Structures are given as structure tokens and as C-alpha cells.
Amino acid sequence: MTQPRHLAEIRHTDLVFPHQTNHQGSYFGGAAMAEMDKLAFLIAARHARRPFVTASCDKLDFVAPAYVGDLVELTGQVRMVGRTSLIVDVELAAENLITGARHVCTRGAFTMVAADRKTNPDRLPPSPDAKPEFAASPPGYARTLQLVFPGDTNHLGQLFGGNAMSLMGKAAYIAASRHTRSDVGMAASDRIDFIAPTREGELLDVIADVQSVGRTSMSVKVVAEAEDLMSGERRKVGEADYVMVALDSAGKPTPAKPLD
């Protein structure tokens, strides 16, 4: 049975903020590498359902910069599998949210080693036959991933609601901006429902889609799911509806692009 696209691949979108850049306003190479390494870990863990550590980054080519305000989209795939290690290819592309212009910034090959190799003698699963494409996700769509670390949680080991809300709002902003290709602002959050907690060590997977468009406003549906990377167990943990408004260069409402 074929998996839904969002389960068969790992894809992460984010925004470049000023604290992630150098004095020239371009994305720090170290910040890019950190995001790429995180994606390589997620791909490896999901492929084998085992813990991994990074052994090396064999080759990393920076071919073009990303700038403040750009969207960065990361995709990856398992290329080669050994007995206890595998190689993950990761690509980071940048997209101008206003013009839609897109270019590849960097590609890298990460060697990931099973952290439990001394206690688990099983071979890793073979490379997948089907390879996900390093293609842009559709306009009006955003997918943002976050690993839940101890600093993100409360005393019960669960993700703070505020952190989840921030991630969901960011995804709505990216989806709306990509749809209408203008600045956008949040006019309202119609509802945010937290259905279940996201626990420390889990993956929070947030997907946003533009559902409908008025004259200047867009309705964006956001769904958050948590995934246990070791078992593959997945559940819906939150959903929200946002109203985003298209803005002109003066910050005033402007007609939004209709849905196709």
C-alpha cells in the first residue's frame, strides 16, 4: 500500500531570520549545516526506526546564499546502506517569498551510524527502491518539522503549547505568503485545538494549506502530528484555522491571489 506523500518523505520548510545571518544578511553556513544534519537524522531514524548519530559530512558544497526573509526548504533521501551505517543526501534550497524565485543553496552527504550498534546486531534495512524527488512543494503549502528536546518541554516532558502555537503560526504564514506572493499578516486565529501532547524525543510535523481565499484574506488550515521515531506510531496532536491577510509594500491590505 502506497504511503501518503507526507509520510513517504521528509521535507522541512523554515524562514531565515536576522539572528541566523551574518553582517551581509546571508544565512550562516553553520545554521544551514545544523538544519541539514537534523534532517539527515530524521531520515535515518525513520528509515530504520533506530537511534543514529552523525559520523561525518563527506561533502558539502555551498553554491548560492539564502537571505533574511527567504524560505529555506530541505529535502533528503537515503542513498546507500551498510550493516550499521547509511548515507543520507540532503539538499537545501532557498525561495524568495515575494517573487517565487528559487535556487539550490547547498547539498551534502551525511554518514549516519546506528547508536545502538553495540547492542543491536541487526542489519539496517536496505535502501528504499522509490526515491523522493528534490522538488519544490506546491504553492500554498508549508511543512515544518521540530524535534522535541528537553528545553522545549514542561515538567511532564511534554512540548509547551506556546512552542507548538509558534510553529503552527509560522507554517500558516509561509503557506499564505507562498500562495499570494506578497507580505502577509495574521488577522485572526479562529481556533487552536490541542488534541494530545507531544512528548520529549518525538517529531512534531506541522502541515499548513491554504483552503480558501477572499478579497484580501486567506483561510489556512494547519494540522500538527507527533511521531515516535522509534516505533513509527503517529497521532494528531493539534489543529488550527488562521486568517491571513495579503499586504502591500505599505503594510495595507491588498487583493490576494485567487485559488486556482
Q: Where do the domains of the chain lie, and which CATH numbers do they carry?
A: 5-114 (3.10.129.10), 142-247 (3.10.129.10)
Give the residue-averaged pLDDT of 218-243.
96
Neighbours of 81 (CB within 10 A): 18
Confidence of residue 191 (pLDDT cuts 50, 70, 90): confident
Confidence of residue 9 (pLDDT cuts 50, 70, 90): confident
What is the C-alpha to C-alpha distance for residues 79 and 22, in angstroms, rounded to an integer? 32
pLDDT at 4 over 70: no
Give the residue-averaged pLDDT of 152-172.
93
What is the C-alpha to C-alpha distance for residues 13 and 15, in angstroms, rounded to an integer? 7
Position 199: which residue type? R
**What is the model's pLDDT at position 132?**
64
Give the residue-averaged pLDDT of 85-109.
95
Quickly list H helices, the chain. Answer: 5-8, 29-48, 161-180
pLDDT at 8 over 70: no
**What is the model's pLDDT at position 1?**
39
Give the residue-averaged pLDDT of 18-22.
92
**Cβ 21 vs Cβ 72: under 8 Å:** no
Q: Which of 76, 137, 85, 128 is nearest to 107 (CA)?
A: 76
What is the pTM (predicted TM-score) of this model? 0.91
Q: Which residue has the cell 526548504?
A: 73
**What is the model's pLDDT at position 33?**
95
User: Which tens digit of pLDDT belongs to each residue from 102-111?
Assistant: 999 999 999 9
